[in-house]
Structure 1
Amino acid sequence: MSMLNILLLFQDTAAVEGDMGMLWMLLSGILVFFMQAGFTLVESGMTRSKNAVNIAMKNFLDICVGSITFWLVGYSLMYGETSNGWFFWGGFMQGEGADLFFQTMFAATAATIVSGAIAGRTKYTTYIIFSLLMTAVIYPISGGWQWQGDGWLTNLGFIDFAGSSIVHSVGGWAALVAAFMVGPRIGKYVDGKVLPIPGHNQILATLGVFILWLGWFGFNGGSQLAWGGDDATGASTVVLITNLAAAAGGLGALITTWIWYGKPNLAQSLNGALAGLVSITAGCGNMTATGALLAGLIGGIIVVFSIEFIEKKLKIDDAIGAVSVHGVCGAWGTLVIGLWGVDGDTGIGLFNGGGAAQLGAQAIGVLAYAVWAILLSAIVLGILKATLGLRVTEEEEIKGLDISEHGSIAYPGKRVREFEE
Structure 2
Amino acid sequence: MESNLFQLQYAIDTFYFLVCGALVMWMAAGFAMLESGLVRGKNTTEILTKNVALFAVACTMYLVCGYAIMYGGNLFLGDIALVDVDGVLGNFGSRDGGFTGDAIYSGASDFFFQVVFVATAMSIVSGAVAERMKLWAFLLFAVFMTGFIYPMEGAWTWGGADVFGLFNLGDLGFSDFAGSGIVHMAGAAAALAGVLLLGPRKGKYGPNGEIRAIPGANLPLAALGTFILWMGWFGFNGGSVLKLGDIASANAVAMVFLNTNAAAAGGAIAALITARLMFGKADLTMLLNGAIAGLVVITAEPSTPSALIATLWGALGGTLVVFSIITLDKLRIDDPVGAISAHGVCGLLGLLLVPVTNGDASLGGQLIGALTIFVWVFAASLLVWSILKLTMGIRVTEEEEYEGVDISECGMEAYPEFVTSKP
Among 319, 335, 339, the residue aligned to 2:352:
335
Q: Distance in 2 between matches of 1:303 and 1:178?
A: 20
Which residue number corresponds to residue 225 of structure 1?
242
Q: Is 1:162 aligned to 2:178, yes or no?
A: yes
Among 84, 94, 99, the residue aligned to 1:93:
84
Q: Distance in 1 between matches of 2:323 and 2:369?
A: 24
Among 204, 223, 248, the residue aligned to 1:188:
204
Which residue number corresponds to residue 202 of structure 1?
219
Deviation at 1:365, TM superposition (A): 0.8
Q: Is 1:138 aligned to 2:123, yes or no?
A: no
Q: Distance in 2 between matches of 1:28 and 1:416?
A: 45
Secondary structure in structure 2 of the residue aligned to 1:333: helix
Q: Distance in 1 between matches of 2:354 and 2:250?
A: 15
Among 377, 383, 390, the residue aligned to 2:394:
390
Which residue number corresponds to residue 3 of structure 1?
none
Are the aligned partners of 2:243 and 2:249 in contact in 1 as well (CA < 8 Å)?
Answer: no
Secondary structure in structure 1 of the residue aligned to 2:248: coil
The answer for unaligned runs of 5 or more in structure 1 is 1-8, 343-347, 349-353
Are the aligned partners of 1:277 and 1:296 in contact in 2 as well (CA < 8 Å)?
Answer: yes
Q: Is 1:211 aligned to 2:200, yes or no?
A: no
Provide Cα deviations, 1:7-61, integer angstroms capped at 9, x if missing partner.
xx23322321221111011001111111111101100101101000011000001
Give runs of aligned pairs for residues 41-60 of structure 1, distance below 5 A. Answer: 41-60=33-52
Deviation at 1:368, TM superposition (A): 0.8
Among 121, 128, 132, the residue aligned to 1:121:
132
Deviation at 1:397, TM superposition (A): 0.3
Q: Is 1:33 aligned to 2:25, yes or no?
A: yes
Provide Cα deviations, 1:232-282, integer angstroms capped at 9, x if missing partner.
962121111100000000011011011111122110010000000000001
More off after superposition, 408-417 vs 390-399: 408-417
Q: Is 1:23 aligned to 2:15, yes or no?
A: yes
Deviation at 1:292, TM superposition (A): 1.2
Which residue number corresponds to residue 299 of structure 2?
281
Deviation at 1:75, TM superposition (A): 0.5
Among 47, 53, 68, the residue aligned to 1:76:
68
Which residue number corresponds to residue 10 of structure 1?
2
Deviation at 1:229, TM superposition (A): 5.6
Letter in 2 for 1:260: M
Deviation at 1:286, TM superposition (A): 3.1
Are the aligned partners of 1:287 and 1:337 in contact in 2 as well (CA < 8 Å)?
Answer: no
Are the aligned partners of 1:221 and 1:235 in contact in 2 as well (CA < 8 Å)?
Answer: yes
Which residue number corresponds to residue 280 of structure 2?
262
Are the aligned partners of 1:25 and 1:98 in contact in 2 as well (CA < 8 Å)?
Answer: yes
Are the aligned partners of 1:224 and 1:233 in contact in 2 as well (CA < 8 Å)?
Answer: no
Letter in 1 for 2:233: W
More off after superposition, 289-298 vs 384-393: 289-298
Letter in 2 for 1:211: I
Aligned residues: 394
Give runs of aligned pairs for residues 250-329 of structure 1, distance below 5 A. Answer: 250-312=268-330, 314-329=331-346
Are the aligned partners of 2:57 and 2:143 in contact in 1 as well (CA < 8 Å)?
Answer: yes
More off after superposition, 314-323 vs 409-418: 409-418
Are the aligned partners of 1:232 and 1:285 in contact in 2 as well (CA < 8 Å)?
Answer: no
Q: Is 1:177 aligned to 2:168, yes or no?
A: no
Are the aligned partners of 1:307 and 1:324 in contact in 2 as well (CA < 8 Å)?
Answer: yes
Deviation at 1:320, TM superposition (A): 0.6
Which structure is richer in relative contact order (CA contacts within 8 A, separation 6 or more)? 2
Are the aligned partners of 1:47 and 1:319 in contact in 2 as well (CA < 8 Å)?
Answer: yes
TM-score, L = length of structure 2:
0.90
Q: Distance in 2 between matches of 1:233 and 1:282?
A: 18
Q: Cα RMSD between the aligned structures?
A: 1.6
Are the aligned partners of 1:280 and 1:292 in contact in 2 as well (CA < 8 Å)?
Answer: yes
Q: Distance in 1 between matches of 2:329 and 2:122?
A: 22
Q: Distance in 2 between matches of 1:188 and 1:263?
A: 21
The answer for unaligned runs of 5 or more in structure 2 is 86-105, 163-167
Deviation at 1:155, TM superposition (A): 2.7
Which residue number corresponds to residue 89 of structure 2?
none
TM-score, L = length of structure 1:
0.90
More off after superposition, 90-99 vs 192-201: 90-99
Q: Distance in 2 between matches of 1:157 and 1:362?
A: 7
Are the aligned partners of 1:75 and 1:88 in contact in 2 as well (CA < 8 Å)?
Answer: no
Q: Distance in 1 between matches of 2:304 and 2:375?
A: 25
Provide Cα deviations, 1:90-109, integer angstroms capped at 9, x if missing partner.
54233111111111100011
Q: Distance in 2 between matches of 1:231 and 1:237?
A: 10
Q: Distance in 1 between matches of 2:251 and 2:377?
A: 29
Deviation at 1:231, TM superposition (A): 6.9
Are the aligned partners of 1:233 and 1:285 in contact in 2 as well (CA < 8 Å)?
Answer: no
Among 401, 408, 420, the residue aligned to 1:404:
408
Deviation at 1:150, TM superposition (A): 4.9
Q: 1:259 to 1:231 in 2, by over 3 A?
A: farther
